Amino acid sequence: MTFKRMLRIITAWIVVLTFFFPIYYWTTVAFKNAKEIFDVPPRILDFTPTLANFEKVFGISFGFGFGSQATVTPGGGNFYMAPRLWDTIVVAVGSTLGAVVIATLAAYALSRIRFRGRHQFVAWVLSTRMMPPVAVAVPMFFIYKEFRLLDTYIGVILIHTIMNLPLAVLLLKSFFDDIPHEIDESAMIDGSTRWQIFVRLILPMSRGGIAATAVLCFIFSWTEFLFVLTLTQTGLKTVPVVSSSFVTSIGTAWGNMAALGAASIIPAFIFILLVQKHLVRGLTMGSLKQ
Amino acid sequence: MDSLKKQYLAQVTDKYVKGEIGRRSFLRNAAKLGLGVGALAYGMTGRPFLKTALASDLKPSSDVMSWLRDVGKPFAGTTLKLATESTPPSNAIATQLKQYFEEASGIRIEIEVLPLEQVLQKLTLDVASSLGTYDLYYIDQSWAASFSRDVFDPREQYADNSDLAMPNYNMDDFLPALVDGIAKYEDRWVGVPYDIPIFIMIYRKDIYEKLGLQAPKTLDQLYQNSRAITEEMGPSMYGTSGQMKSGHYSLECDWTAWLWGHGGSIFGPDGKFTGNDSAGLAAMDYWTKLEKTMPPGVHGWTWDGQGQSVAQGVAASMLSWGEFFPYFDDPNSTKVSGLCEAVVPPNPISLRTVSQTGYGEIPGVGHQGGSSLAVSRYSKNVDAAWIFMQWATCADTQALITALGGGTGPTRTSVYDDPRVKANARVGAGTTRHLDVVRETIASHMGSEPDLPEWAEISSDTIPVALGKYFAGDYSSPKALMDDVKKQVDSIIEG
């Protein structure tokens, strides 16, 4: 093994460990009892694992039931969060589906159909991402109140879909642009309609791009904080917002927060694994133009 | 088993668990209660047994339930909303007590638990829109002035709605000092006092005894004790701890305790900032000295880190929120269960009177936090919300909150003497053995922040940011710091 190769491997391990260690440490906090969490020096490997934090957050002994858990810890709150994880999954999947479906149609139109002001339209789509979300949050609160969308799944899914649409449209447009126009033209000569070309040719060919877009939309929705905080009350909450409720007036329930955090990685991880084979290709596919 | 028996059993058990009495003596004492061998199991298992036994007895009074059934009928089916910080009273209501209210009254209550700054955001939005998305407001004492016109004065509600008034609700039972410090702005009550975190002195009795120290009665003793511990036992143990995170409200809380304790005040009678006078500078000198006896991480800690530093055995004392004490006694969560003692805050070097300060500021080393509960003027369900508010803050519910919610300080005089609360005055999670100290601190040592609409900004941003910069070395001296703070604060008030 050459020195260069050795150096490359060592560097790769350092990079991987740098990214992996915080996740590992956070996960160990979820399995530690309250006394061990603050041990100095920190216990990296030699701790007594416990499921107590998961028990409180997910009610394991209740078979992951979705009922209410009437327990109160001294000074602490009700940290039963299984329904909140479910809320997060519903919102992330719903908004990802919404954004990808709408963005695919819009991006194809922008890529293939020539109409007046097309370039300005693309610039306008991009500009909607430039406005800071906090500037929109308060007006959205008023609109939602008027339309009775506050504190509803459909309301949060809608705002996340709107939030993700510009990025999804631009990303998918670049993927569609990479598919040679000659394919469309040949199909048209063979008698296919625009819709048939889109469904039977373009969509299957851009699976990688759609998967990459879906992953990004999913992650943005999974981690979004501001809109969920502003537009929900007691009906639903997603993991990022509900994580802050572990901060109580007499301190932070770190073990419970870590348990929810560690568990909330799993659905996102599964989603990414499912589309992984498309992901790398998709992420690089749009980077080169013909 | 009545409460006195329980209290006696709890004391005897504490002694047995701590090894102060033997098994024979424990059984003899238990036999006096007619418990015999069964008590041994209690002694062995300790807290869980007590918890279960108490929990089964802790039910709302039948009078209160009967009133709820009568008065709630016309409002059955109404849903109320409350956004609140995760505090012991709110948590006890949300998880254990609201079921009783809902069953009896037919009124549903939805409680949204959020960190304090998010509660403020929600309330501000609700007030700005006048939409009444929340029927009840949880109002931190520092926001009282800002929301004073957006809520009903509970005295008026009580007088104007005799049909809905809870019998024996007794507004005079609220500790007068808390009404002034938490719930009053000018001549109005901005709700009723709901919870009361207040600075008390908590110290490690074992360490103090080991080094031959006495619980600090003066600020100088606190410094001398802390220095002695840090020199003797550091770096594994430090004399005291702080909540000194730059830019955080907690840093301002610490500052006021030292400022008031040195005879200073935030404002003078003319409404101008006075933290830069000689008393203010003496306080900064003291704090700068004391900070050297604290653990190195103290500049990154709010009350959370400060509490953990004592809970995990890194610091031997803290002048901080009394709500921590029941947590420290929890053997499952901390390393100091049974080792801490509570005393009133050290005596001040001198103390200004209220008339020597501005905006109703009350100097005192026992910095008082806390919140009030009020009915929103924008609520569409004012009467139902008023019923809930009376129930949530009546003496019976407060006693249950204190017993179930982990020894939080009650805001009513009568609750401190309630047998259900007294019964929990033993070592263990959710203890109430510190409540006598809390009560005395409220009566004789309480310091309360000024009430002015700009206070939320000044206390949560202007002052803690400048103090953080000082401890980071950005100011050449305490005088340079305080002169700069004066300039900023006076300019905010002048608009």
Nearest by Cα to B309 from B245, B377, B405: B245
Which residues on chain B are in Cβ contact (under 8 Å) with A39? Answer: 312
Nearest by Cα to B148 from B183, B124, B118: B183
Residue A11 has pLDDT above 60, yes or no: yes
- Same-domain pairing of B81 and B174: yes
Q: Residues near B434 by Cβ (< 8 Å), separated by ≥ 6? A: B200, B202, B322, B325, B326, B342, B407
- Same-domain pairing of B296 and B409: no
Residue-range definition of the domain harbouring residue A178? 85-285
Q: Please report the beta strands in chain A, taking only residues with DSSP state E, as ranges in sequence order.
A: 247-248, 251-252
Residues of chain B numbered 159-188 and touching chain A (CB < 8 Å): none
Residue B30 has pLDDT above 60, yes or no: no
Q: Is the CB of B417 inside 8 Å of chain A's CB atoms?
A: no
pLDDT at B96: 84
Residue B398 lies in a domain: yes
pLDDT at A272: 82
Mean pLDDT of B476-493: 97
Mean pLDDT of B104-128: 91
Q: For A62-73, how does the pLDDT look when each residue is reduced to its tens digit (9 = 90+)?
A: 443 333 333 434
Q: Is the CB of B348 inside 8 Å of chain A's CB atoms?
A: no
Which residues on chain B are in Cβ contact (under 8 Å) with A40? Answer: 312, 314
pLDDT at A64: 39
Q: For chain B, how are helix, strand and coil distributed in percent, rounded to 5?
A: 55, 15, 35
Nearest by Cα to B179 from B202, B196, B167, B162: B196
Q: Is the CB of A230 inside 8 Å of chain B's CB atoms?
A: yes
Residues of chain B numbered 231-260 and touching chain A (CB < 8 Å): none
- Name the residue among B81, B308, B323 with its Cβ closest to that of A249: B323
Residue A249 lies in a domain: yes
Residue B76 lies in a domain: yes
- Same-domain pairing of B220 and B262: yes
Distance from C-alpha of A285 to C-alpha of A209, rounded to nearest angstrom: 7
Nearest by Cα to B375 from B135, B169, B158: B135
pLDDT at A67: 38
pLDDT at A59: 74
Q: What is the ipTM of this complex?
A: 0.76
Q: How many domains does chain B have?
A: 3
Residue A96 lies in a domain: yes
- Taking CA atoms, what residue in A is nearest to B121? A230
Which residues on chain B are in Cβ contact (under 8 Å) with A139? Answer: none
Residue B449 lies in a domain: yes
Q: Do B86 and A249 touch (CB under 8 A)?
A: yes
Mean pLDDT of A226-253: 88
pLDDT at A70: 37
What is the end-to-end Cα distance of chain A in Å, rounded?
39
- Out of B57, B85, B100, a domain closes at B57
Residue B428 lies in a domain: no
Q: For B173-228, how does the pLDDT look when each residue is reduced to its tens digit (9 = 90+)?
A: 999 999 988 999 988 999 999 999 999 999 999 999 999 999 999 999 999 999 99
What's the CATH number where A274 sits? 1.10.3720.10
- Same-domain pairing of B211 and B318: yes
What does pTM read for this prediction? 0.80
- Same-domain pairing of B252 and B329: yes
Q: Do B86 and A38 touch (CB under 8 A)?
A: no
Distance from C-alpha of A226 to C-alpha of A248, rounded to nearest angstrom: 20
Distance from C-alpha of B471 to C-alpha of B138, rounded to nearest angstrom: 33
How far is B25 from chain A, CA to nearest CA, in Å? 31
DSSP B110: E
Band (pLDDT 50/70/90 cuts) for residue B231 is: very high
Q: Do A38 and B125 touch (CB under 8 A)?
A: no
- Name the residue among B110, B314, B327 with its Cβ closest to that of A250: B327
How far is A158 from chain B, CA to nearest CA, in Å? 21
Q: Do A245 and B307 touch (CB under 8 A)?
A: no
How far is A170 from chain B, CA to nearest CA, in Å? 34
Band (pLDDT 50/70/90 cuts) for residue B49 is: very low
Q: Is the CB of B70 inside 8 Å of chain A's CB atoms?
A: no
Candidates A53, A72, A228: best to mutate against B (most CBs of B within 10 A) is: A72
Band (pLDDT 50/70/90 cuts) for residue A107 is: very high
- Same-domain pairing of B342 and B378: no
Q: Do B323 and A73 touch (CB under 8 A)?
A: no
What's the CATH number where B225 sits? 3.40.190.10
- Same-domain pairing of B113 and B233: no
- Preceding peptide of A41 cis, ω within 30°: yes
Phi, psi angles (nearest 5°) of residue B178: -75, -35
Which residues on chain A are in Cβ contact (under 8 Å) with B327? Answer: 74-75, 250-251
Residue B130 lies in a domain: yes
Distance from C-alpha of B317 to C-alpha of B315, rounded to nearest angstrom: 6
- Name the residue among A34, A142, A244 with its Cβ closest to that of B115: A244
What is the end-to-end Cα distance of chain B in Å, rounded?
62
Q: Is B418 exposed, middle or buried (0-12, 13-18, 19+ CB in 10 A)?
A: buried
Q: For B411-465, how does the pLDDT look when each residue is reduced to its tens digit (9 = 90+)?
A: 999 999 999 999 989 998 889 999 999 999 999 999 999 989 899 889 989 999 9
Which residues on chain A are in Cβ contact (under 8 Å) with B333? Answer: 34-35
Residue B278 lies in a domain: yes
Residue A26 lies in a domain: no
Residue-range definition of the domain harbouring residue B123? 62-196+371-422
pLDDT at B46: 33
Higher model confidence: residue B87 or residue B4?
B87
Q: Is the CB of A20 inside 8 Å of chain B's CB atoms?
A: no
- Name the residue among A76, A145, A249 with its Cβ closest to that of B197: A249
Which residues on chain A are in Cβ contact (under 8 Å) with B115? Answer: 244-245, 247
Residue A214 lies in a domain: yes
pLDDT at B35: 44
- Same-domain pairing of B43 and B111: no
Residue A150 pairs in a beta bridge with none
- Out of B57, B80, B100, a domain closes at B57
Which residues on chain B are in Cβ contact (under 8 Å) with A38? Answer: 308, 311-312
Distance from C-alpha of B187 to C-alpha of B204, rounded to nearest angstrom: 42
- Same-domain pairing of B204 and B174: no
Phi, psi angles (nearest 5°) of residue B289: -70, -45
Residue B461 lies in a domain: yes
- Report chain A's mean pLDDT, rounded to a whole number: 86
Candidates B50, B81, B113: best to mutate against A (most CBs of A within 10 A) is: B113
Which residues on chain A are in Cβ contact (under 8 Å) with B91? Answer: 72, 75-78, 248
- Name the residue among A76, A245, A250 with its Cβ closest to that of B307: A250
Band (pLDDT 50/70/90 cuts) for residue B333 is: confident
H or E element that contains A208: helix A207-223
Mean pLDDT of A51-65: 70
- Same-domain pairing of B319 and B205: yes
pLDDT at A66: 38
Q: Do B86 and A248 touch (CB under 8 A)?
A: yes
Residue B399 has pLDDT above 90, yes or no: yes
Residue A203 lies in a domain: yes
- Out of B33, B57, B81, a domain closes at B57
pLDDT at B21: 58
pLDDT at A281: 58
- Name the residue among B91, B114, B195 with its Cβ closest to that of A72: B91
Residue B43 has pLDDT above 70, yes or no: no
> What percent of chain B has pLDDT above 70?
88
Which residues on chain B are in Cβ contact (under 8 Å) with A78? Answer: 91, 94-95, 113
Residues of chain A numbered 132-191 and touching chain B (CB < 8 Å): 138, 141-142, 145, 150
Q: For B232-279, how does the pLDDT look when each residue is reduced to its tens digit (9 = 90+)?
A: 998 999 999 999 999 999 999 999 999 999 999 999 999 999 999 999
Q: Is the CB of B208 inside 8 Å of chain A's CB atoms?
A: no
Mean pLDDT of A240-246: 88
- Same-domain pairing of B252 and B389: no
Residue A39 lies in a domain: no
Q: Do A250 and B332 touch (CB under 8 A)?
A: no
Q: Do B407 and A74 touch (CB under 8 A)?
A: yes
- Same-domain pairing of B383 and B339: no
Q: How many domains does chain A have?
A: 1
Q: Which two tokens stand for residue A202?
A: 């373009």
Residue A223 lies in a domain: yes
Residue B161 has pLDDT above 80, yes or no: yes
Q: For A91-104, how does the pLDDT look when each residue is reduced to its tens digit (9 = 90+)?
A: 999 999 999 999 99
Q: Do A39 and B311 touch (CB under 8 A)?
A: no
Residue B430 lies in a domain: no
Q: Which of A39-48, B278-287, B395-404 has the lowest mean pLDDT?
A: A39-48
